[in-house]
Homo-oligomer: A and B are copies of this chain.
Amino acid sequence: MLLREAILKDLEFLLYDVFATEELCGREKFREHSKEGFNEFLDSAFKVSEKYFLPYRSASDEHEPTFSAGRVIVRPEIKTALAALADLGMFAATQDTEDGGLQLPWCVGQAAMALFHSSNVATTTFAFLTMAGSNVILAHGTEEQRRLYAQPMLSGRFLGTMDLTEPQAGSSLGDIRTSAVPAADGTFRLKGTKMYISAGDHEISENIVHLVLARLPDAPPGPKGISLFIVPKYLVNADGTLGEHNDVAVSGIIHKMGWRGIPSTIVNYGDSNCCIGYLLGPPHEGLACMFHMMNEARQIIGLAASMLGYAAYLESLEYARNRPQGRKPGNRDLKSPQVNIVEHPDVKRMLLMQKAYVEGGLALCLYGARLADDVGTAGSEAERHDAKLLLSLLTPVIKAWPAEYCLQANYLAIQVYGGYGYSREYPVEQLYRDNRLNPIHEGTNGIQSLDLLGRKVPAGDGRAFGLLIAAIRSTLVETTKGPYRTVEAMANMLSLLVERITERTSELRGALHTEARATVLSHASIYMEVIGHVVVGWLWLRQAAVAAQRIGNTVGEEKEFYLGKLHTARYFITYELPLAAAKLDVLSNLDPMFTDMEEAWL
């Protein structure tokens, strides 16, 4: 098996064996599909990612986009890769066939995207921004906006951006200042500056569709006075042909630690007072519309983080299998050949930890994607509603946990390589730098944690959290009564922690309504780590339960695969969950450590 085919195998295990994705084919929307069809799509995606995305990953890091005389130049391979992606149908994979899509389930689409993230995260970002942008236009746009902007985005002819951050307004989006003034013809004139705009300019697509947050003249202050605008680089005529260059200009690019293959730009609107924008959705409700895209982006950042970790894990595994160094303890024959480092227990430990984090992160992201399918197509209104609540609760976890722990996996991949690990001549150092952006962009992990503990957990009197615990308990009931003693032992360990976190969370929710609120929220980041570990521990238990069921009649590679799943689940539950339990104890004390600390003490 080729090194990276391991991802494909894991995707299929998760999709079908763990998350029963073929059941979706029983739903009206997906009845034309089959497991075989899904697999064909994934196989094609794998081939495209290997052929068009992977080969220049390193080159696009080394030779960053350049900016001069107002123009951003990116590598030509990006255009070729995106064309192959469009040929695959990826831009519209999950759209309805009537919109020109393949009408695939969201989780299958995300599984395919996982392959692209693992092979070239920067180029994949051009695509995912475009896909997420087209989703916003399809959801909130007029018929004409759908036709003029979303359709060319779905075919990959136009690429998209999301334009939120301003120099003085990052996490505090309510403070953006970009203005939009109504013109007589129903359009708007925008003026302002945005930064960290990925793919804010380039010449690899016919047009660029910026989705820009701005304020109308009568806007109330804060987040409730923000509207969303379509601002094309080239104006689009009513027949879809391109008109003049709009008054949008890149004034600089930001030089990032990683993710260098896509330009991060500073974009000016209206330097000549004629930047034309089109209101998307209702006035003053732009942030709500944009959250459609942001939630999707947050989920895909989790996926990207998982796959950056996954790619490095596989590289370090390959390296460990082929790098001779040292001997087995007890071997006194100094002339004997060196063994490959994969045989050293400490290297095994680092590989096992990576596997636990990256396959756990991928499982978490695919679980979220599978929930998104339930939001859209589950059998009953109640099921759809519950799926939505649960996905909303988990979105910050899906973003933050892989960003933290799969970066940790990248750290370990470098350790496995030793000195080669930090050398740019080898692949893992880039993957580490790429992943370092993930705990920040699309909302820092701190912001995700506040969203989780301050908003999502208490929402609906804790109903979403209750759904999560119910889902976990359901697995626990199944696995503790099963015939597999190892799995039962894992279930018992997880169960103890689940009961404790349920109780503690209830106390924390209560405390949010007291004067201890600030103290509770000052522990949001620690709470995030605990919840993340519990959810990933649960998903590892589910993987272990499936592996235990299937392993009986298997031999060879198949059997090793399941043994690997069982062993890794046991690692995560035995070694990692106790650390989460210790964090839960610490945060439960509600020490005013952080709130009481004075600036002058630092």
Q: Report A's interface with B, CB cutoff 8 A.
A: 165, 168-172, 174-175, 195-196, 220-222, 254-258, 317, 321, 324-327, 329, 334-335, 338, 342-343, 345-352, 355, 411, 414-415, 418-419, 421-425, 429, 432-433, 436-437, 439-441, 444-446, 449-450, 517-518, 521-522, 524-525, 557, 560, 563-564, 567-568, 570-571, 574-575, 578-579, 581-583, 585-586, 589, 591, 593-602
Point out the residues of chain B lying under 8 angstroms from A168, CB to CB. Answer: 324, 338
Determine the distance from Cα of A411 to Cα of B355 in the docked complex, in whole angstroms.
22
| Chain A binding surface SS class | helix
Point out the residues of chain B lying under 8 angstroms from A521, CB to CB. Answer: 329, 345-346
Cβ contact of A334, chosen from B174, B355, B570, B581, cutoff 8 A: B174
Q: A171-B326, A254-B419, A567-B593 are in contact. List 6 more A-B contacts (CB 8 A).
A: A195-B419, A256-B423, A345-B595, A349-B522, A415-B445, A568-B601
Whether B349 pairs with A567 at a CB distance below 8 angstroms is no
Whether A594 pairs with B346 at a CB distance below 8 angstroms is yes
Determine the distance from Cα of A324 to Cα of B170 in the docked complex, in whole angstroms.
10
Cβ contact of A342, chosen from B346, B596, B599, cutoff 8 A: B599
Point out the residues of chain B lying under 8 angstroms from A522, CB to CB. Answer: 345-346, 348-349
Point out the residues of chain B lying under 8 angstroms from A600, CB to CB. Answer: 557, 560, 563-564
> Shortest beta-carbon distance, A442 to chain B, in Å?
11
**8 tightest A-B contacts by CB?**
A222-B334, A345-B522, A564-B601, A582-B582, A221-B334, A255-B424, A560-B600, A172-B326
> Shortest beta-carbon distance, A564 to chain B, in Å?
4
Whether A440 pairs with B415 at a CB distance below 8 angstroms is yes
> Shortest beta-carbon distance, A432 to chain B, in Å?
7
Point out the residues of chain B lying under 8 angstroms from A436, CB to CB. Answer: 411, 414, 422, 432
Whether A171 pairs with B325 at a CB distance below 8 angstroms is yes
Whether A172 pairs with B414 at a CB distance below 8 angstroms is no
Point out the residues of chain B lying under 8 angstroms from A345, CB to CB. Answer: 518, 521-522, 594-595
Point out the residues of chain B lying under 8 angstroms from A450, CB to CB. Answer: 346
- Asked if A346 meets B255 with Cβ closer than 8 Å, knowing A174-B334, A436-B432, A567-B597, the reply is no
Point out the residues of chain B lying under 8 angstroms from A349, CB to CB. Answer: 522, 525, 593-594
Point out the residues of chain B lying under 8 angstroms from A348, CB to CB. Answer: 522, 594-595, 597, 599, 602
Whether A574 pairs with B601 at a CB distance below 8 angstroms is no
Point out the residues of chain B lying under 8 angstroms from A352, CB to CB. Answer: 593-594, 597, 602
- Asked if A418 meets B432 with Cβ closer than 8 Å, knowing A525-B349, A575-B593, the reply is no
| Minimal Cβ-Cβ distance residue in B for A560 | B600
- Asked if A255 meets B449 with Cβ closer than 8 Å, knowing A171-B418, A586-B578, the reply is no
Point out the residues of chain B lying under 8 angstroms from A585, CB to CB. Answer: 578
| Residue of A421, A441, A568 contacting most chain B CB atoms (<10 Å) | A421
Determine the distance from Cα of A318 to Cα of B335 in the docked complex, in whole angstroms.
56
| Minimal Cβ-Cβ distance residue in B for A419 | B196
| Minimal Cβ-Cβ distance residue in B for A343 | B599
| Minimal Cβ-Cβ distance residue in B for A438 | B422
Q: 19 A-B pairs, CB-CB below 8 angstroms?
A: A170-B418, A195-B419, A254-B419, A255-B423, A257-B422, A321-B599, A345-B595, A346-B450, A349-B593, A414-B440, A418-B440, A419-B441, A422-B436, A560-B601, A563-B600, A567-B597, A574-B593, A578-B586, A579-B583
> Shortest beta-carbon distance, A19 to chain B, in Å?
22
Whether A571 pairs with B598 at a CB distance below 8 angstroms is no
Whether B325 pairs with A170 at a CB distance below 8 angstroms is yes
- Asked if A355 meets B602 with Cβ closer than 8 Å, knowing A446-B346, A578-B586, the reply is yes
Cβ contact of A593, chosen from B444, B571, B593, cutoff 8 A: B571
Whether B424 pairs with A598 at a CB distance below 8 angstroms is no
Point out the residues of chain B lying under 8 angstroms from A414, CB to CB. Answer: 436, 440
- Asked if A422 meets B335 with Cβ closer than 8 Å, knowing A346-B594, A436-B414, A598-B560, the reply is no
Determine the distance from Cα of A165 to Cα of B423 in the docked complex, in whole angstroms.
15
Cβ contact of A601, chosen from B196, B335, B418, B567, cutoff 8 A: B567
> Shortest beta-carbon distance, A260 to chain B, in Å?
10
Whether B578 pairs with A582 at a CB distance below 8 angstroms is yes
Whether B254 pairs with A564 at a CB distance below 8 angstroms is no
| Minimal Cβ-Cβ distance residue in B for A169 | B325
Whether A439 pairs with B423 at a CB distance below 8 angstroms is no
> Shortest beta-carbon distance, A177 to chain B, in Å?
12
| Minimal Cβ-Cβ distance residue in B for A581 | B582
